[in-house]
């Protein structure tokens, strides 16, 4: 017998409702629900849908996400094909691809600020654990063409709106600023001075970070690094903001306060990608674990130029759909299942199976209608209809076929009603609407 082939570690199948032992983050209808809610909130705010390829030139990710990040140094999946080169990467995130698409397709011509959103799979070769996968899904929102603090505040408020619309309550925004490049340089210089005498106590990864980008040490997952950080009493990035970044950050906070959007100031926010500057934030939830963010975002005014384009200010955020679903599960928020069919049709004898199918096909112009592929006894047909969570069922026998009628049975009340086949679509339209 051939051996069974299983999915790759850290990837998940998204499965239909009713699958045995279905886990919250792998329910396909729940993913659809999240993206539908996000679509409603974001499109009301003027965002338009964009989709970019899931593989891109490696150079885009290296330059976009940044050479000092874990993503680029350890977690990139390269794509090769037989006989071809291996210079492609499975995207680890959506922002770099969206900015590339913006530059490549002349989206600068569209009215600014241009709001875009997308959702889809992302790939990072991380250590797999609850809420951390190698293929995961994001909802992503980006705004291009404005450096105004109002855009930052709106982006944060929208992110909160999406999770609220999903029914989550235990969410906190951790807000910080990582300043302009010159502010970051002086902070990194300060950190070098602080950590260099402690070189031997740093983890190997952080020794490396000390040369490439000392700020990354603050984000280290190593316990020794974290102990050293506590001991050294490191000053936060916020202390190093220049006048302009400070004023911008104050303005963002003033809007949020005026609108009643709650946040906790987090002076130590670092974020795991290099393109950020100024406003940066994360959305956290107790249900997903203290260190795991539901989502995060920030401003990236330098990214366009880094990708060979003109200076285009940008800001955006993404949240992980799997982590949102785990948080919803932790809060006990039920999600709507895909509704069953309005009508389930079966034939009592083989000669009428085709008529049941034809009737169903015609009725699909107005509603979801399913049919039995084999003749069924009425008792079995009604049981089947209930398993499929149908609202109505009808069984076609010789008498119904001759008279061209159906006996619609309401599966909740048990009431029956005879309907002529000619009127079926009108009746279904009416039933669908109530
Ligand atoms: P990020 O913080 O790397 O930001 O990822 C955003 C969210 O994606 C995380 O907060 C988390 O919920 C989810 N996520 C990340 N890695 C994993 C994983 N391995 N397994 C499950 N979920 C994961 C970005 O990706 C930026 N592109 C966000 C952004 C958009 N910034 C500006 N525009």
Domain CATH code at residue 352: 3.40.50.800
Question: Based on the domain organization, do 139 and 31 belong to the same domain?
Answer: yes
Q: Which of 116, 278, 296 to mutate to test the pocket of ligand 1 (most atoms within 8 A of CB)?
A: 296
Q: Which domain holds residue 390?
A: 343-433
Which domain-ending residue is among 276, 300, 330? Answer: 330
For residue 329, what are its two tokens? 């599960």
The answer to whether residue 80 is domain-embedded is: yes
Domain-embedded: residue 112: yes
CA 93 to ligand 1 centroid distance, Å: 7
Q: What pLDDT digit, counting tens, does each position of 71-88 carry?
A: 998 899 999 887 777 689
Residues of the chain with pLDDT under 70: 86, 289-291
Q: What is the pLDDT of residue 25?
A: 96
Determine the atom of ligand 1 nearest the C-alpha atom of 142. 33
- 239-277: per-residue pLDDT in tens? 999 999 999 999 999 999 999 999 999 988 888 888 999
Let me know whether 307 and 408 are in one domain.
no
Nearest CA owner, ligand 1 atom 20:
132
Q: Are 45 and 121 in a shared domain?
A: yes
Task: Choose the residue to mutate in 123, 172, 320 for probing ligand 1, maximizing ligand atoms within 8 Å of C-beta.
Answer: 320
| Same domain? 250 vs 376 | no
Per-chain mean pLDDT for the chain: 94
- Inter-axis angle of helices 181-195 and 204-212, nearest 10: 140
Residue 4 domain-assigned? no
Q: Give the per-residue pLDDT at 414.
A: 95
94 plus 162 within the same structural domain: yes
Domain end residue (candidates: 268, 297, 330): 330
> What pLDDT sits at residue 290?
55
Residue 370 lies in a domain: yes
Residues with CB under 6 A from ligand 1: 93-95, 124, 126, 131-133, 136, 138, 140, 142, 272-273, 293-298, 300, 316-320, 322-323
Share of the chain above pLDDT 70, in %: 99
Per-residue pLDDT, 268: 81
Q: Show the 3-state SS of the chain.
A: CCCCCCCCCCCCCCECCCCCCCCHHHEHHHHHHHHHHHHHHHHHCCCEECCCCCEEEHHHHHHHHCCCCHHHHHCCCEECCCCCCCCEEECCCCHHHHHHHHHHCCHHHCCCCEEEEEEEEEECCCCCECCECCEEEEEEEEEECCCCHHHHHHHHHHHHHHHHHCCCCCEEEEEEECCCHHHHHHHHHHHHHHHHHHHHHCCHHHHHHHHHCHHHHHHCCCHHHHHHHHHHCCCCHHHHCCHHHHHHHHHHHHHHHHHCCCCEECCCCCCCCCCCCCEEEEEEEHHHCCCCEEEEEEECCCHHHHCCCCCCCEEEEEEEHHHHHHHHHHCCCCCCCCCCCCEEEEECCHHHHHHHHHHHHHHCCCCCEEECCCCCCHHHHHHHHHHCCCCEEEEECHHHHHHCEEEEEECCCCCEEEEEHHHHHHHHHHHHCC
In a shared domain, residues 372 and 407:
yes
271 is annotated as contributing to ligand binding: yes
Ligand 1 centre from 245 Cα, in Å?
24
CA dihedral (346, 347, 353, 359) in degrees, to 10, reads -60
Distance 364 CA to ligand 1 centre (A): 40
Residue with CA at minimum distance from ligand 1 atom 29: 317
pLDDT of residue 313: 98
What integer pLDDT is reported at residue 289 of this predicted model? 65
Atom 2, ligand 1: residue with shortest CA distance: 296
| Euclidean distance between CA atoms 14 and 30, whole angstroms | 9
164 and 251 housed in the same domain: yes
**Quick one: which atom of ligand 1 is closest to the CA of 316?**
33
Q: How many domains does the chain have?
A: 2
Spatial CB neighbours of 150, under 8 Å, sequence gap ≥ 6 = 251, 255
Residue nearest to atom 11 of ligand 1 (CA): 320
Residues 429 and 348 in one domain: yes
Q: Is residue 227 part of a domain?
A: no
Identify whether residues 355 and 320 lie together within a single domain. Answer: no
Residue 411 maps to a domain: yes
Q: Any idea what the CATH number is for the domain that residue 134 is in?
A: 3.30.930.10
**Does 276 show up as a binding residue in the annotation?**
yes
Task: Tell me how far the alpha carbon of residue 138 lies from the centroid of ligand 1, in angstroms.
Answer: 7
Same domain for 140 and 31? yes
310 lies in the same domain as 375 = no
**End position of a domain, from candidates 330, 355, 376:** 330
- How many A from CA of 246 to the centre of ligand 1? 26
Q: Is residue 51 part of a domain?
A: yes
135 is in an annotated binding site: no
Pocket test for ligand 1, best of 318, 322, 328 (most atoms within 8 A of CB): 318
90 Cα to the center of ligand 1, angstroms: 15
- Whether 18 is covered by a domain: the verdict is no
Question: Is 275 annotated to bind ligand?
Answer: yes
- Judge if 32 and 66 occupy the same domain: yes
């Amino acid at each position: 017998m051939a051996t069974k082939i299983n999915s790759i570690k850290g990837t998940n199948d998204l499965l239909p409702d009713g699958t045995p032992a279905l886990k919250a983050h792998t329910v396909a209808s729940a993913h659809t629900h999240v993206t539908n809610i996000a679509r409603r909130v974001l499109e009301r705010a003027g965002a338009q849908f964009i989709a970019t390829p899931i593989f891109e030139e490696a150079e885009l990710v290296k330059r976009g996400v940044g050479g000092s990040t874990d993503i680029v140094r350890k977690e990139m999946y390269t794509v090769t094909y037989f006989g071809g080169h291996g210079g492609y990467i499975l995207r680890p995130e959506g922002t770099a691809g969206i900015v590339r698409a913006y530059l490549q397709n002349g989206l600068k011509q569209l009215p600014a600020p241009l709001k875009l959103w997308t959702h889809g799979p992302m790939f990072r070769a991380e250590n797999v654990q609850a809420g951390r996968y190698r293929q995961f899904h994001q909802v992503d929102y980006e705004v291009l063409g404005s450096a105004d603090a109002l855009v930052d505040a709106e982006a944060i408020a929208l992110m909160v709106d999406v999770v609220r619309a999903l029914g989550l309550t235990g969410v906190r925004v951790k807000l910080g600023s990582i300043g302009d490049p010159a502010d970051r340089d002086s902070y990194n210089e300060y950190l070098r001075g602080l950590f260099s005498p402690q070189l031997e106590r740093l983890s190997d990864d952080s020794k490396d970070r000390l040369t490439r980008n000392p700020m990354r040490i603050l984000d280290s997952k190593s316990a020794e690094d974290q102990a050293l950080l506590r001991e050294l009493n490191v000053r936060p990035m916020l202390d190093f903001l220049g006048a302009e970044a400070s004023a911008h950050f104050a303005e963002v906070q003033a809007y949020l306060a005026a609108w009643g959007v709650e946040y906790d100031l987090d002076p130590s926010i670092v974020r795991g990608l290099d393109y950020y500057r100024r406003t940066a934030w994360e959305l956290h939830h107790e249900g997903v674990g203290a260190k795991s963010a539901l989502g995060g975002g920030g401003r990236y005014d330098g990214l366009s130029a880094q990708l060979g384009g003109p200076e285009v200010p940008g800001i955006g955020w993404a949240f992980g759909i799997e982590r949102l679903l785990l948080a919803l599960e932790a809060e006990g928020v039920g999600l709507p299942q895909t509704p069953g069919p309005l009508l389930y049709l079966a034939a009592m004898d083989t000669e009428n199976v085709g008529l049941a199918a034809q009737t169903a096909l015609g009725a699909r112009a107005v509603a979801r209608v399913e049919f039995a592929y084999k003749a069924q006894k009425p008792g079995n047909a009604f049981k089947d209809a209930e398993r499929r969570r149908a609202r109505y069922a009808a069984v076609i026998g010789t008498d119904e076929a001759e008279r061209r009628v159906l006996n619609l049975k309401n599966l909740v009340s048990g009431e029956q009603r005879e309907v002529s086949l000619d009127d079926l679509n009108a009746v279904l339209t009416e039933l669908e609407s109530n």
